Structure 1
Amino acid sequence: MLKRTKILSTLLAVVLIFALVGCSTPTEQPASQSSEPSVLEEAVNSYFANMPEDIYKINQKTFIEKVKADEDMFVLDIRQPDVYGEGHIKGAVNAPWGTAISDNLDKLPTDKTIMVYCYTGQTAGQTVALLNMAGFEAKSVNLGWNLGISKVEGYEDVVETTANDFGEAEGVDIAPEIKTALEDYYKGLADVKETIFKNYKISEDNLKKLMDEEDESIAILSIRSAEDFGKGHIAGATNIPWGKGMEQQFNTLPKDKTIVVYCYTGQTAGQTVAGLRLLGYDAVSLNGGMGMEANAPSGWANKGYEVVK
């Protein structure tokens, strides 16, 4: 009898222990497992989610008209110093593509639109995306200097050779995480300078070579419209059409490959590459994009390379 009583007591104790464990408060997940986006992720996603109708660009003719009208804006020329010295838009300040841009963030104005131009629009596209993500209001001049500005009738009237310096500016309060990301972005250009991905771009010829070699280290992304993608695209490409909400599909892209992004002439691809790289993707843009009449002979189709349906 005594033995049976002891057994019953032991069983009751075991049941009580399990009951207490079952009623206890679940252990909270570590903060590192939180699904909350970082400040950097929020800035990138917001850039695409809140895309304006002008898609962060200004028509080259409209830009020249604004310059002639002496409209209050800040013009940033990111071409190299030698061509800047040969002639640039009146009042334009030179910050050559690279760390000169990230080093001068505190000298950029927050009370006016920053108009950025390069040679053909691709590196300006990257820069405009990064500046907007940092809190500035920036737009790129369509097709840059070579294919846009210099093709506008009467543009010579607003060209000068006198160098301009950065003025005094309060500077925008950039979140430390974003500022570091921008600094790393431009410093990273040195790592790809001697590769086929110089300036976070790849030439049409080099992409063709990789495709011919069936190189599996790349993935091709078209950000042209779904309609144009259907009419013809680069073999093997996937499609995320450029526009609001495209950021919701970024998580479908591989992080173990170099993503070659292309659009029509390379400008919106430049913006996309900037966002993807800040999110941790190894992304580059295709020089000249698919290609249009305006940027011939640059561009995949303009080079005569195969386009599939």
Structure 2
Amino acid sequence: MKKVRLFLSVLLVLSVVLSGCSASNTPATTQPAPAAADKAPAATPAPEVNVVKDAAEKYFAEMPADVYKIPEKDFVAKVKANEAMLVVDIRQAKDYDAGHIKGAVNLPWGEAIAKNLTNLPQDKPIMVYCYTGQTAGQTVALLNVAGFNAKSVNLGWNLGISKVEGVADVTETTANALPAGKTEIKPEIQTALNDYFFKMAELKGTTYANYKISEDDAKKALDTKDPSVMFLSVRKAEDYAKKHIDGAINIPFAKGMQASFAQLPKDKKVIVYCYTGQTAGQTVAILRLLGYDAVSLNSGMGMPSTPGSGWANKGFPVVGTEAPAAQAPSGQPAPSTGDKS
């Protein structure tokens, strides 16, 4: 009996020892969690792309030395030399029919421009002219944003082209059709330009028709100190210092000017003016694509080439180093200088 008990005790001891060895030698079935430093970094979300905004800002960021314009004499010379280009007359059909540059096609200012983007060529320059250059400035900005190489003809038909010596030799009344094309336009750009002209059409007959404002209406806004309006001069800094509309800020028209747009409010009407309205037209188009409520001042500050039109040419008040000393406050008649015979 004692031998049996001893035998059972030995078996119990061996069982405990063997089970302990088995537990210690069995490999682990789970791996330790990797250190934080070994974890793969989280993917960085791709920056959101705004096709219209990028193209609009690029317009000024990559502005050429000719500021998207061509002198009227140089333009006529190119026409006479039969240089490869498409000439686009954006005046109204009746004025185009009365006489236009040889070979020019007519796309009246408005929705016709947006509707014909796919028919315009990207393999040659596009020369655009209107009446005085102001709406051509808007058009050229929009076309460049859409991917075309477009330039406006200085002072348009009335003040520039029609006054060039020998222009009669390249003037015709025969209408020219724009051939159908297959140019690909980015959908976002097409939508933005459609919207640009759709909203402009809604302003027909109002103070801001064609995204412009007359000198008289702009002066009323100044005289009444309309809080919903501000003036932006895009003239050169030295010319702004000499004379500018009271309260106007200055962002000179130049390459890189888009970097200064952040100072402009998006909750006000921004009245943009330059010298004759042409570069203001370009500025207005880009500002509107960027979300600003901008319009250009008819004929700008005014130049000798635009007699009778333009802010200063109308005798409206200015401030600056060259402001008339006896100038009356805004909205008040100038002091009398005596009876005139």
Alignment TM-score > 0.5, same fold: yes
CA distance in 2, matches of 1:292, 1:28: 57
Match of 1:136 in 2: 148
Which amino acid in the other structure matches residue 162 of structure 1? Answer: T
| 1:37-52 equivalence runs, <5 A | 38-52=50-64
The aligned length equals 284
Unpaired runs of 5+ in structure 2? 1-38, 321-341
User: For structure 1, which segment, 202-211 or 160-169, has the greater mean C-alpha deviation from structure 2 after superposition?
Assistant: 160-169
Please point out which of 217, 222, 226 is paired with 1:206.
217
- What is the rounded CA distance, in whole Å, between the counterparts of 1:283 and 1:118 in structure 2? 20
Contact 2:312 2:318 in 1 (8 A): yes
What CA distance in whole angstroms lies between the structure 2 residues aligned with 1:41 and 1:275?
9
Give the Cα separation in 2 of the matches to 1:40 and 1:182.
10
For residues 76 and 282 of structure 2, what CA distance do their matches in structure 1 show? 23
Matching of residue 92 in structure 1 with residue 107 in structure 2: no
User: Is 2:117–2:185's contact at 8 Å kept on the other side of the alignment?
Assistant: no
In structure 2, distance between residues paired with 1:286 and 1:37: 33
Q: Secondary structure at the match of 1:294?
A: coil
Give the distance between the partners of 1:167 and 1:174, measured in 2 at CA. 17
2:120 corresponds to which letter in structure 1?
L
Provide Cα deviations, 1:30-79, integer angstroms capped at 9, x if missing partner. Answer: 98xx6x55111110111101100110000000000111111111000000
2:263 paired with 1:252 = yes
Does 2:143 correspond to 1:112? no
- Amino acid aligned to 2:174: T
Q: Which residue of 2 aligns with 1:158?
A: 170
CA drift at 1:303: 0.6
- State the alpha-carbon separation in 1 of the partners of residues 43 and 264 from structure 2: 31
Distance 1:191 1:287 in 2: 19
Q: 1:307 Cα deviation (Å)?
A: 1.1
Alignment map for 1:123-202 (pairs within 5 Å): 123-171=135-183, 173-202=184-213
State the secondary structure of the residue aligned to 1:84.
Answer: helix
Give the AA of the match of 2:299. Answer: G
Quote the residue 1:263 is aligned against.
274
The DSSP-based 3-state class of the residue aligned with 2:76 is: helix
Partner Cα distance (1:27, 1:239) in 2: 45
Structure 1 residue 194 displacement after superposition:
2.1
How does 1:6-17 map onto structure 2 within 5 Å? Answer: none
| Shift, 1:221, TM fit | 0.2
Question: The residue matched to 2:168 in structure 1 has which SS?
Answer: helix
Cα deviation, residue 190, structure 1? 1.5
CA RMSD of aligned residues (A): 1.9
Q: Quote the Cα distance in structure 2 between the aligned partners of 1:69 and 1:108.
A: 22
Partner SS state of residue 157, structure 1: helix
> Do 2:270 and 2:292's aligned partners in 1 also have CA atoms closer than 8 Å?
yes
Q: Segments of 4+ in structure 1 off by > 6 A? A: 24-31
Q: TM-score, normalised by structure 1?
A: 0.88
Matches of 2:279 and 2:41 in 1, distance apart?
A: 47
Report 1:68-79 matches (<5 A): 68-79=80-91
Change beyond 3 A, Cα 1:204–1:25: farther
Aligned to 1:121: 133
CA distance in 2, matches of 1:135, 1:283: 23
- Please state how far the C-alpha of 1:168 moved relative to its aligned partner: 3.7
Q: Deviations over 1:127-168 (max 9, x none)?
A: 000000000000000000000001101111100000000114
Please report the TM-score for the alignment, with normalisation by the length of structure 2.
0.80
C-alpha distance in 2, partners of 1:232/1:28?
A: 54
C-alpha displacement of 1:212: 1.1
Q: Which residue of 2 aligns with 1:294?
A: 305
